[in-house]
A and B are shown apart, each in its own frame.
Chain A
Amino acid sequence: MAETLGQSMAHGAAEASRRDFLKILNVAAGAVAVGAIAWPFIDALSPSRQAMSVVRPIVDVSGIAANTALRFVWLGTPIYIRKLTDKQIADNQFVVPDSLPDPASYTDRVKPGYETFVVVIGLNTGTPCELVGNDPADPRGPFDGWSCPCDGSVYDPLGRVRGGPAPKNLAIPRFTFLNDAQIQFG
């Protein structure tokens, strides 16, 4: 009698653990299935590549000659990508930041590894006005950077304000270097 009871209890325990296992298996498989069905729906809500290329454009910077800047409009904002000359780097590398209206060092203004490129938003921080100085023939001001045709503010090639009513340095947009030739914004 005791044996039978023990056997049936052992049997019951085996049954229970088998049932638990099946339960876990089913719930896990169900969760995978629901996830697999939900995934295309959620992924389809994300914008198309075409739309993303407008939001996060990739710009080729390999063609920019030293001492010139590429003007590129990103979501309505003019972006200047400037390739520095050795002389411009030497002139600005060791300027003491505290002597400037808006202190910023050379390394603050460029990305490590790509120190010859300066990427800024080309709008004056004083009177909102697009800057000139992308082409070497443009009026660039005494620091060989950019100048504002509206209020006369001048910037150095790193985009730091050096004179005029503008209070701040040029804003740096969100971007990353994908490689030596490509910048991705956003």
Chain B
Amino acid sequence: MSGTKPWLDTRLPALESFRAFFAAPVLPRERPYLATLPVLITGALIFQVLSGLVLSLFYNPADAYNSIQFIDRNINYGWLIHAFHETGTTMIFGAVFFSLFRALWLRSYKTPGEVLWFFSVAQFGLLLLVGYLGYVLADGTVSYWSLASTVSGAFGLSGFPGAIGVWFFGGADGAGTLARLVVFHAVLALAVFGILFLEYLARRGAEPKVTHGVGLHPYYTSQYFAAFVVFALIFAVLVFFAPHLGENPLNRGPADPLVLPVAVAPPWFLLPVGNVGHVFPGVWGTIFAVLARLAVLVALPWLDRSAPGKPAGFLHKLLLLVLALDVILLTVWAMQPPSLIGEVVAVLLTAYFFFHFLVLLPFFSALEAR
């Protein structure tokens, strides 16, 4: 091949730069397996778009619940595609929660990783919105009521936020609202790819420059492949043995506008953020609770007083484990039927979440930095 380029390369010059990109020795020699998480999330999202595409062909907002029954029972492999879509959500949120925790653990939000961290939080927030929209599209017993209270809350707001609510939901909760939410669900899910790309660009800036590195192929493609196999194995086990993992079983019934379900818990991935909602009273309380949770995450690079590049100390790691326990407990608690003790515990766990970020973290990171 000396002197002459391959046949296709001369006719498609982009191919050559593509190949150079794969071989460019810019990557560090050793990267942990967990660093493959963003790529796995991207792959799971692509799979999610494919299964969502098939579901959208048969989904009917005017008769949402029955059209999903039709997909499950009458479409060839409809049950499987539906399970792919549900389990894909679980896998994506599992990976997102895990990579957020990993960023907290490694302190990768510190300089020069702030922008990367903002994109991670933005991606998380957008995925929560997409996940919520997908949940209400099911039009089951529970999600119907969730949408009904959200819409009535949005319509009760005045001024600019109310206008946004009216514009977004476009009327009372019904077929018309579901018809537009199915479009928002798809479009916002595609927008996540944009954030993933921005994250990729920011990661280039956040990583130290490598002088004698290795190329993407074959060093990291084989690593990605091994990580993908493990990810796909977990996915397959969940699809075939627990396709409804973390869902409220009551939501499998058709919506009834006259009967309020006894347990109103949303799917598991909304609980860590959504459940703080009823700790604060009123519509504004719910909105405040969700936004405040994301806001403390955004403020994290400044709440952490430690010097950039310094490895996390013992106290930092211990506090993080307690925080993880707090979030897990809050999630598990929210799945229980409502009770007075449950309310008190939810308030305490929520208070601890903010206490960690606003008091413990600045204090102890400053202490450790000295």
Contact = CB atoms under 8 A, between A and B. Distances in A.
B51 A48 contact: no
Contacts of A41: 50-51, 54, 77, 81
Given A41-B50, A41-B51, A41-B54, A48 B77 contact: no
A50 B77 contact: no
A48 B75 contact: yes
Interface residues of A, number: 10
Contacts of B51: 41
A49 B75 CA distance: 8
B74 A43 contact: no
B74 A45 contact: no
B158 interface: no
Contact of A48 (B50, B54, B70): B70
Nearest to B78: A44
Nearest to A40: B77
Contact of A43 (B50, B57, B70, B77): B77
Contacts of A4: none
A44 B50 contact: no
A46 B77 CA distance: 10
- Most B CB atoms within 10 A — which of A39, A40, A49, A50? A40
Interface string B63-78: 0000000100011111
B80 interface: yes
A44 B55 CA distance: 9
B74 A44 contact: no
A43 B54 CA distance: 10
Contacts of B57: 45
A44 B73 CA distance: 12
Interface residues of B, number: 12
Contacts of B70: 48
B74 A48 contact: yes
Contacts of A49: 74
Given A45-B54, A45-B57, A40 B81 contact: yes
A49 B70 CA distance: 11
Interface string A138-174: 0000000000000000000000000000000000000
Interface in B208-231: none
Contacts of B50: 41
Contacts of B74: 48-50
Nearest to A51: B74
B76 A46 contact: yes
A13 B215 CA distance: 27
Contacts of B80: 40, 44
- Most B CB atoms within 10 A — which of A39, A41, A44, A45? A44
A49 to B, nearest CB: 7
A30 to B, nearest CB: 10
B76 A48 contact: yes
Nearest to B51: A41
Nearest to B47: A37
Nearest to B70: A48
Contacts of A46: 76
B88 to A, nearest CB: 13
Contacts of A43: 76-77
Nearest to A46: B76
Nearest to B74: A48
A41 B54 CA distance: 7
Contacts of A44: 54, 75-78, 80-81
Nearest to B71: A44
A41 B74 CA distance: 14
Given A48-B76, A50-B74, 18 more contacts: A39-B77, A40-B77, A40-B81, A41-B77, A41-B81, A43-B76, A43-B77, A44-B54, A44-B76, A44-B77, A44-B78, A44-B81, A45-B54, A45-B57, A48-B70, A48-B74, A48-B75, A49-B74
**Which are the 9 A-B pairs with shortest beta-carbon distances?**
A40-B77, A48-B74, A43-B76, A44-B54, A44-B77, A40-B80, A44-B81, A44-B76, A43-B77
26 contacts: A39-B77, A40-B76, A40-B77, A40-B80, A40-B81, A41-B50, A41-B51, A41-B54, A41-B77, A41-B81, A43-B76, A43-B77, A44-B54, A44-B75, A44-B77, A44-B78, A44-B80, A44-B81, A45-B54, A45-B57, A46-B76, A48-B74, A48-B75, A48-B76, A49-B74, A50-B74
Interface of B: 50-51, 54, 57, 70, 74-78, 80-81
